[in-house]
Structure 1
Amino acid sequence: MRASRLVQLLLLLQAHGGTTATVLARELEVSVRTVYRDVEALSAAGVPVYSEPGRGGGVRLVDGYRTRLTGLTIEEADAVLLAGLPGAAADLGLGTVLATAQLKMLAALPPELRGRATRIAERVHIDMPGWFHHPDATPTLATLADAVWHDHRLAIRYRRRDRTVDRVIDPLGLVMKAGTWYLVAREGTDIRSYRASRIDTADATGESFTRPAEFDLAAHWASAADDFARSMLRVRARCRISPEHFALLRLSIDPAAVGETLASAGPPDESGRVEVTVPSESYEVLTHALLSLGDHIEVLDPPELRARMATVAAAMHARYHP
């Protein structure tokens, strides 16, 4: 642990030129006294590091000194790919590795580029989860990630909505969608997606597997997500709406339904309105989605949905016009 900290201290000094012991202590999450002991250890090891007391002083390397400890390890190179997502890196157990990799990259850059990289980090931050979204608890995520990295087969216990099932899977990849982690894995000949927070246990079987050479995680996820979204659109309504209100329609219905709705638009009638077919997961969802458009849209069919719309509209009228 101390050896790793000494490397981090050396890289911090090389990346920033020199800084105070207080700042170094904060970065390394140790005491100021520990920083000074580490500086002495580096000096005893032949590193030209020194401290300057008083105002404007601090810990510095002799001008022109550059460490050769800037080569990235395999784990650090993996972590660099998650540099824009520090939360994701931490979830996968790569938080400390990512920090070290970033320091190595900064230390390896010439001064003019190092300043630019630092400016970007100070001015750009990526926050993936949506508003009011609390990340799921994922106690098995580090185990899942390790199995993904090393192609290890897992025995998992997975909570479905109605029951818990046991499965033996080949983990192929992890996907973060809107702050939620999903595991993409092969079960037999099928490739499925599992919400990581519902995997209660994950144990290595001691077996390895051969990853499908043709498998593309990003392409698979895009296709699977699109198929899932379309499978949820179980009901459809025939409606009449003016094309100028298509923008309101996009805000009201599920994004997965927008394409089908707009593609179904027929020619305008004498009033300028067009007929569209609006898909949704249920008439209840569709009722509230279309009510938000007020009198800009008219449901033509099915009668069941027209009746629902009329019932809700009448109840709203009674509430606001007693």
Structure 2
Amino acid sequence: MKSSRLLSILLLLQTRGRMTAAELARELEVSVRTVYRDAEALTAAGVPVYGDAGHSGGYQLLDGYRTRLTGLTSGEAEALFLSGMPGPAAELGLGQALSAAQLKLRAALPAELREQADRMRLRFHLDAPGWYAEHEETPHLGRVADAVWRGRVIEVRYRRWKEPQEVDRRLAPYGLVLKAGRWYLVAGPEGPRTYRVDQILELRETAEVSELPEGFDLAAHWRRTRADFLERLYPEEALVRLSARAAARLTGAQARALADGGTPDPELPGWTRAVLPIESAAQARSQFLSLGPDAEILAPAPLRDSLRSALSAMTARYA
């Protein structure tokens, strides 16, 4: 455990430069006193780590010192190769760079880890988009990525779902997100807001510098955006009873609600009763009609009545 932590300190200082004992302690989830002892152990082992006292002090490595990539576990080596998705990398214009990086990493691995990494690459392939999602062309993705990387404001012609459909926007790029095979641009200055990259019709990069808002975290922002989206997507609820076959067909938020709050139905053995989130009455009616006799809506009454009317109309048509 200690050797792994010492290696982590070494790699943190190598990649980030000067870090205080408190910063290292937070990163490694240990006490500051433990960091002091670890720094002394690294120095005793011949690693040129030195510390400066004072408000702006901290630990750092002697200029020019680099360590070779060592200490990887088999799981870490496998994960590194599994994490490289050639599709998205190629879309960003990084396909050759990714291949070169993987080649260098493979050459630096010990023989036994190299064999495991090769087996992982041969037996696992990541394909993020869903089966029924068509691939959208994103002709401006490379230029958007360049603007994000270089921190440049862009002017775009953007197509949206409401009128007027085509609008002009001046955007300060904050980051790119790949979700289910589709690229999204998170940008300011208002918001930040989210834009689909495949809906950018025209793009012009400006010389104006785009600065990230203080404290902005792309991953945290995306988690909040996703949570807000799901909350807006399912604003209503319905009390239902489901057979095991119908329960197995639920996905996403409805499946989670069933798992968290489902209880055995007191009237039908083997069935489950639960409150499920729904998009709207119309959407719920179509969904539960598709489940046939394996599901029953108990409340709200208007939704139950709507389903009954639809079933009566279907019975009359097929009579």
The TM tier, using the shorter chain, reads: 0.5 to 0.7
The change in CA–CA distance for 1:95 and 1:299 in structure 2 (over 3 A counts) is: same
Query: What amino acid sits opposite 2:249 in the alignment?
Result: L
Name the CA distance, whole Å, in 2 between partners of 1:82 and 1:259.
Answer: 28
Q: Are the counterparts in 2 of residues 157 and 166 from structure 1 also a CA contact under 8 Å?
A: yes
Name the CA distance, whole Å, in 1 between partners of 2:130 and 2:141.
Answer: 20
Which residue of structure 2 lines up, in the alignment, with residue 306 of structure 1?
304
Which residue of structure 2 lines up, in the alignment, with residue 179 of structure 1?
181
1:147-197 residue CA offsets vs partner (Å, 9 max, x unmatched): 111222111221111212222222111111111111111223x11111111
Q: CA deviation at 1:219?
A: 1.7
Q: CA deviation at 1:81?
A: 9.0
Give the 3-state SS of the residue equivalent to 1:138 in structure 2. coil
Which residue of structure 2 lines up, in the alignment, with residue 51 of structure 1?
none
Structure 1 unaligned regions, length at least 5: 1-69, 72-79
Name the CA distance, whole Å, in 2 between partners of 1:261 and 1:144.
Answer: 41
Q: Are the counterparts in 2 of residues 82 and 89 from structure 1 also a CA contact under 8 Å?
A: no
Q: How do 1:167-246 and structure 2 match up within 5 A?
A: 167-188=169-190, 190-237=191-238, 239-241=239-241, 245=243
Which residue of structure 2 lines up, in the alignment, with residue 90 of structure 1?
90
Query: What amino acid sits opposite 1:286 in the alignment?
Result: A
Name the CA distance, whole Å, in 2 between partners of 1:195 and 1:81.
Answer: 28
The percentage of counterpart residues that share the same residue type is: 39
Q: Are the counterparts in 2 of residues 248 and 293 from structure 1 also a CA contact under 8 Å?
A: yes
1:104-150 residue CA offsets vs partner (Å, 9 max, x unmatched): 22233344433332222111111111113221110110011111112
Query: What amino acid sits opposite 1:285 in the alignment?
Result: Q
Name the CA distance, whole Å, in 1 between partners of 2:303 and 2:293.
Answer: 15
Give the 3-state SS of the residue equivalent to 1:278 in structure 2. strand
Which residue of structure 1 lines up, in the alignment, with residue 45 of structure 2?
none
Quick check: which has more Rg, 1 or 2? Answer: 1
Which residue of structure 2 lines up, in the alignment, with residue 101 of structure 1?
101
Q: Are the counterparts in 2 of residues 172 and 184 from structure 1 also a CA contact under 8 Å?
A: yes
Q: CA deviation at 1:309?
A: 1.0
Which residue of structure 1 lines up, in the alignment, with residue 126 of structure 2?
126
Give the 3-state SS of the residue equivalent to 2:195 in structure 1. strand
1:80-116 residue CA offsets vs partner (Å, 9 max, x unmatched): 8995211000111101111222222223334443333
Name the CA distance, whole Å, in 2 between partners of 1:310 and 1:283.
Answer: 13
Give the 3-state SS of the residue equivalent to 1:226 in structure 2. helix
Picking from 283, 292, 300, the partner of 1:294 is 292
The change in CA–CA distance for 1:279 and 1:132 in structure 2 (over 3 A counts) is: closer
Name the CA distance, whole Å, in 1 between partners of 2:100 and 2:179.
Answer: 26
The change in CA–CA distance for 1:285 and 1:270 in structure 2 (over 3 A counts) is: closer
1:194-244 residue CA offsets vs partner (Å, 9 max, x unmatched): 11111112221211122234222222111111111111223433x3426xx
Normalised TM-score (structure 1): 0.64
Give the 3-state SS of the residue equivalent to 1:176 in structure 2. strand
Query: What amino acid sits opposite 2:211 in the alignment?
Result: T
Q: How do 1:1-322 and structure 2 match up within 5 A?
A: 84-162=84-162, 163-188=165-190, 190-237=191-238, 239-241=239-241, 245=243, 248-249=246-247, 251-252=249-250, 255-259=252-256, 276-318=274-316, 322=319
Q: Are the counterparts in 2 of residues 138 and 197 from structure 1 also a CA contact under 8 Å?
A: yes
The two structures, once aligned, show a CA RMSD in angstroms of 3.1
Normalised TM-score (structure 2): 0.64
Structure 2 unaligned regions, length at least 5: 1-67, 70-79
